[in-house]
Amino acid sequence: MAHALRTKRTLIYVFCGILTLLSILPFWILLCNATRSVEQIRQGLSLIPSDSLVHNWHVLMNQGFNVWQGMGNSFFIAACSTILSVYFSAMGAYAFTAYNFKGKKILFGMMIGLIMIPPQISMIGFYQFMMRLNLLNNYIPLILPAIAAPNTVFFLVEYMETVYQPDYADAARLEGASEITIFHKIMLPIMKPGLATMGIFAFVASWNNFLMPLILINDQAKYTLPMLVQLLTANIYRTEFGAMYLGIGLTVIPLIIIYLLLSRYIIGGVTAGGLKE
Amino acid sequence: MNSGDSKESKVEARGHFERYNRYGYYFLLPFFIIFLIFSLYPILYTIYLSFTDLAGWNTQSNFVGLKNYKSILQNQLFLKSIKNTVILWILNFIPQMGVALLLAAWFTNMKLKLRGTQFFKVVFYLPNVITAASVAVLFSALFSYPMGPINMLLIKLGVIDSAYNFFQNNWATVFIVAFIQFWMWYGQTMIVLQSGILSISESLFESARVDGATDGQIFRHITIPLLKPILLYTLVTSLIGGLQVFDIPFLLTKGGPNNSVLTITMYIYQQAFSGNRNFYLAATASVILLLISIVLSVLMFSVFKDRTKVGRAK
């Protein structure tokens, strides 16, 4: 019996080891090839970095792959939408948790229904509408909609139910605090862990968003990082492999670092929310 | 969710602080205003456009009734995009669910005393965080012809004699796209299933083990039945997510070869933003996608009710 158990355990470790390689190897090859010369890449696969990083960097920059600008643009959009999404979702979640008002159940039910409606469905009307408002090539359509994030509200309602106590609000009211002050001074702080989790997800989702910027933004100076990646499929990179790998690498490395730093919150968030972004 | 509010708290709220309840509306106002402007209106506008002939850079259009619906349901490319989307989803979902279930069952099995499960979770979830656009371009490089790392590796291992052009073959491309989707999502599904299994009372497993049940029996007769709501939930969210697949096939091969990985969302994008800019067809396809999603959402909603009941019961 004990022997069978040990065998089983070994097999599981082998299986998990293979999956681990599968997760890491593509990124490792990417990083190695980003430092290798075109010649070296042509000669064969290697898992050891080489010395052509600077050369690849120059090739990439000469192609107008403006990675800093792309990062700046992506960061600006992601940061703004994260702040809006987290703040207003917290407000909505507080409304659902703390107040009893007519139609609350219907509104909440509506919101749950919205979680599953993908944005692609309204893409055509959205584009035409933004064109009429003269908001193409503008970041507003990429940022403002973040205020209505049903899945974030939903997660925060579930979170609020575990930490909310009516007494806090009532005590503050007796001292004359206004409702918005109670929200800012008492409720936001007690929601902090939940807000952090949802903030990370909102940021990553906005940072990785490709389709919406693709249809709305034409001006290359306004390209987000995922849109810049698109430029790496151009013909020049069929010969300049190293530069192409470096270009992808530059978009991937920041995410890997942030993920490794915040993995505990991210995994915790997936566990608690169980929602696909 | 809030139906669980106890009687006392309602009475209490009705008493002293009832007049504050209108703030519930104020605090929800920003959400619903933005929702109306940026979601509901565009959806209604899309539906409206599906009954017109809007195309190109025109701003004026004519009402054409159900004409677009009749023509799109006979449009071979659109029907193919539905078929492709479903095939890609099935090829990704079955292995994804299988692997995720196995891992979740192992990682929660106390008897196995596995180490490093936290590490594995972090590693398996990693691909999900990375920009899909970058992943697509990375895989197109890895599988590229004739000098891609995969080709060179397969030649070195003696699997093939000369480089193989994966992206010239319909099924090879379909499998690569399905594999990438699997690779990006099985970690996520595993974590969700694992938290589901952990919410099942450990005493159930223990008493089954005392009665001499094997791991396989426990898995089939306890884990799976009790996990049903979460399995259904995963199924529906994955299906709705599957309907939206765009980034990976778009950047990998633009849908080719022979439109074998052209998905519904790619069809909508192509119709509206390339060539003749046929917004009317794109809008019609969007409405059909909306109808499919609504059916799935309703399903989802009933599943969800079950899920909260399970949560309450524990």
Q: Which domains does chain B have, with CATH numbers?
A: 1-49 (no CATH), 71-313 (1.10.3720.10)
Can you give the residue ranges of every domain in chain A? 65-231
pLDDT for residue A273: 61
Is the backbone of residue B259 left (phi > 0), alpha (psi -120 to 50) or beta? left
Cβ(B173)–Cβ(B166) under 8 Å?
yes
pLDDT for residue B232: 83
Q: Is B256 on the interface with A (CB under 8 A)?
A: no
Q: Is B126 on the interface with A (CB under 8 A)?
A: yes
pLDDT for residue B312: 37
ipTM: 0.90
**With contacts defined as CB-CB under 8 Å, which chain A residues touch B92?**
none
Helix, strand, or coil (residue B188): helix
pLDDT for residue B172: 95
**With contacts defined as CB-CB under 8 Å, which chain B residues touch A211?**
246-247, 265, 269
H-helix segments, B50-75: 67-72
Determine whether the interchain pair A120/B22 forms a contact, defined as Cβ–Cβ distance below 8 Å.
no
Which stretches of chain B are assigned E, i.e. beta strand?
none
User: Would you call B59 exposed, middle or buried from its count of C-beta atoms within 10 A (0-12, 13-18, 19+)?
Assistant: exposed
Q: Mean pLDDT per segment of 10 residues, for chain A of length 277 residues?
A: 84 96 95 89 83 89 88 96 96 93 89 80 94 95 94 90 86 88 92 91 93 94 93 80 91 92 87 54
Helix, strand, or coil (residue B144): coil
In Å, how far is B91's CA from the nearest CA of chain A?
18
Nearest-angstrom CA–CA distance, B159 and B177? 21
Fold classified for A65-231: MetI-like fold (1.10.3720)
Which residues does chain B have with pLDDT short of 70? 1-18, 300-301, 303-314
Determine whether the interchain pair A276/B137 forms a contact, defined as Cβ–Cβ distance below 8 Å.
no
Give which of B276, B290, B292, B298 is closest to B47, Cα–Cα.
B290
Q: Which residue of A has its CA nearest to B126?
A: A23
Task: Calculate Rg over the CA atoms of chain A.
Answer: 24
pLDDT for residue B302: 72
The two structure tokens encoding residue B182: 């699997």
H-helix segments, chain A: 2-34, 38-43, 53-62, 67-98, 104-115, 123-132, 140-143, 150-163, 166-174, 179-182, 188-208, 211-216, 225-231, 241-273
Q: Provide CB contacts within 8 A for B60, sequence distance 6+.
A: none
**With contacts defined as CB-CB under 8 Å, which chain B residues touch A153?**
31
In Å, how far is B287's CA from the nearest CA of chain A?
7
Q: Is B59 on the interface with A (CB under 8 A)?
A: yes
Nearest-angstrom CA–CA distance, B278 and B52? 11
pLDDT for residue A174: 87
pLDDT for residue B229: 80
Cβ(B282)–Cβ(A124) under 8 Å?
yes
